Structure 1
Amino acid sequence: MVKRLQGIRYQFMRAHMQVIYFSLLMITLVLFFTYSVIQPGWLTIESIFLALVTMAIIMTPVGLYVMFRKGGELKGRLHSFSLYISTLSEGKYGAKLVMRDSQDEFDTLGDELNDLGSKLRGQVKSLERLAEEKSEYAKQAHVAATVEERQRLARDLHDAVSQQLFALSMMSQATAKIIDEKPDQAKEHIEEISQMAIQAQNEMRALLLHLRPVHLSGESLQEGITRLIEELKQRCHVDFLVEVEPLLELSQSKEEHIFRMVQEALSNTLRHANASNIELRIQEKDRIYIYISDDGDGFDIEQQMNAKASYGLNSMKERCEEVGGTFKIKSKQGEGTYIDIRIPK
């Protein structure tokens, strides 16, 4: 309530009441000066007080009503400006602020905001054209990038799968030695070996996911993602909840960027999250909405984004920004990860 009374409407009302009562004070001084110095016969103390009380009774509600209406009008116009700025911040650069043709300072500000929206829309178009050009250059540089990708996969295989297989070998040898003497302990070791094997299997499948082609090979985005999910369902011990709407009139560059971001997100989840459930939703409304979530281990976002090894997350963010979109990720250790991507059409 106190915060509401600090609004512009009530500031106008307080200012107007100050003007009214200051005016009444001046009138009072003039009347008493006239009464005491000039002393006209028609002016009495009773008439002075009657006039002042009458003016106060009439001017106070009238002033409050007028300024309440005027303050509400100004508040409404400021709210429309605030709403328009919020619309621009969400990427809806095609929106326009409707003016009243009053040619006051508010209309001037509105025209400037509309010009800003037009410039932002033009810049987004330019970014999309640059993304198209960059996609062509990326195709040309694919051969050179393949060598680097193979080296990275080799390092990942050595750092992750190779070490897990070595641990499996050591654990199985130790289990074989104690299986007759300590069957209960051997059973526990076998269960650990099973979990380690599943983890190594998921790690290998995630690494193989990186070997898939970046391009959709003539498929639509919906077909490519659906086929990718179906393959993962057959190979991984993870439940998928998928809802992918057909996206119309999307450029090839945007489809490839979206496909690659989804591919990268699923790969990261399979490799690091230890998730049992993965949800993927792609919807087309005023923009393209992409939601990816899991119920895995979660992680510290700030630490991971700043780490040199966080190639996947930074790559997804860069790809999203290249097509004029916004990339948000929420994660908490023990509570899973949620990715929200929004791309203008």
Structure 2
Amino acid sequence: MTTYKKGKKIESLRFWYIRSFIVVSVVSSFLFFLFFQTLLLFYPEGLLVDVEWSVIIAATSFIITVLTSIYFGYKQSGYMKNRLDDLSTFIATLARGKFSERIAVGGKDELGRLTEDINQLAYKIQNQVKSLQKLADEKNELAIKAHNAATIEERQRLARELHDSVSQQLFALSIMSSAAIRMFDPYPEEAKKQLTDIASIAAKAQGEMRALLLHLRPISLTNDTLSVGIQKLLVELEERTPITFQKDIQDIDTLSNATEDHLFRIIQEALSNILRHADATSVKLDMHQKGKQYVYIFISDNGKGFELNTQKQSSYGLHTMRERCEEIGGQFSIRSKKGEGTHIEIHVPIREEEN
């Protein structure tokens, strides 16, 4: 395609071809004129023409050679231009993703070799596209298998939790209630005490079930912010449990989605442990941003607490919370003592990109 740059200078293959022919014709005519003048200078009597006729002959030959150069330059450049246009069209076809297309090789010259190289490149790209599609299919299959494996693992974990806690408690309730019925008439005081124990075990089993149901909540916050998701979670727990929640939750809009999901899961795990093990009646949850450096989260309860060195029951949950906190560059600390409740502090730095 002919283009125009500054100064109206035409730049195209055809113009370059014709210009080259014209330059050759001008140089040839000038050399012919010099040769003719040299002959007149050394052999003036041996030539039948004078200086005027030599100029006329030189000018005529110049005009003829220029016109001939323009004609043949135009014809030859047309052939080259068509071959390059075919290459340009083929490259545009490849750019549109049609890698199965091929271009006919027009000759054994440099353009022919270039055409063969482009065909080979298109063949390699076509094979790479097939490999990428195959990898994408394999990745999708692996993702489905990983999801199914994670689902099975989570089901097995919940089954173990139900068997180790709720199932045993329900079995104990069944035995104790049967015994209370038999003791009701002969031993009313013992039956009353037995019913009190039954109510306590039932309340504990109910807490276990609520904690397990809390684990089944969605992991992500979907379209909610972190503060909104926590507020919704606490409202739901207030409606379903006898626990009183004291909360001071600040809206923080400088966190990435991944950081918010991790923090939500950490808080969810902490509340689940409180429901299952703490026997607490009051929980305090604070979340706010300190300057532009980090987010601070504080969770405490007035439950029975535990000794950190000998604690076994919720070690898996504590380990999970610590791992999630470290994955987002945060610090996780916990303090607990029997009869004094549990206190959790979380510090998560805010990246400059989030600010």
Instruction: State the TM-score, normalizing by the size of structure 2.
Output: 0.56
**Which of 218, 227, 242 lines up with 1:222 in the alignment?**
227
Partner residue of 1:296? Answer: 303
Whichever residue aligns with residue 159 of structure 1, its letter is: D
Structure 1 stretches of 4+ with a deviation exceeding 6 A read 137-140
How far off is 1:335 after superposition? 0.8
Map of 1:157 onto structure 2: 162
Aligned length: 207
1:315 counterpart (308, 314, 320): 320
After TM superposition, the structure 1 = structure 2 runs for residues 238-317 of structure 1, keeping only pairs within 5 Å, are 238-286=243-291, 287-304=294-311, 310-317=315-322
C-alpha distance in 2 between matches for 1:165 and 1:140: 35
For 2:145 and 2:348, the matched residues in 1 are separated by: 25
Higher relative contact order (CA 8 A, sep 6+): 1
C-alpha root-mean-square deviation of aligned residues, in Å? 2.0
Letter in 2 for 1:258: L
1:172 correspondence with 2:166 = no
Percent identity of paired positions between Structure 1 and Structure 2: 52
Task: Work out the CA distance in 1 between the residues paired with 2:214 and 2:248.
Answer: 20
Q: Which amino acid aligns with 1:321?
A: E
Structure 1 SS opposite 2:309: helix
Looking at structure 2, the residues matched to 281 and 249 of structure 1 have their Cα atoms a distance apart, in angstroms, of 17
Q: State the match for 2:91 in structure 1.
A: none
Choose which of 212, 232, 237 in structure 1 pairs with 2:237.
232
Gaps of 5+ in 1: 1-136
Are 1:329 and 2:334 matched, yes or no? Answer: yes
Deviation at 1:148, TM superposition (A): 0.8
Gaps of 5+ in 2: 1-141, 351-355
Which residue of structure 2 lines up, in the alignment, with residue 127 of structure 1? none
Helix, strand or coil at the partner of 2:310: helix
After superposition, the Cα gap between the structure-2 partners of 1:241 and 1:143, relative to the gap in structure 1 and judged at 3 Å, is: farther
Contact kept, 8 Å, 2:273 with 2:314, in 1: the verdict is no
- Note the alpha carbon deviations across 1:89-131, whole angstroms, 9 max, x for none: xxxxxxxxxxxxxxxxxxxxxxxxxxxxxxxxxxxxxxxxxxx
Question: C-alpha distance in 2, partners of 1:283/1:214?
Answer: 22
Q: Distance in 2 between matches of 1:235 and 1:202?
A: 10
Other structure's SS at 1:259 match: helix
Question: Are 2:331 and 2:348, in contact at CA under 8 Å, matched by a contact in 1?
Answer: yes
Structure index of larger Rg: 2
Deviations 1:293-323 (A, max 9, x none): 011111121333xx59721111111111111
Q: What TM-score do the two structures reach when normalised by structure 1?
A: 0.57
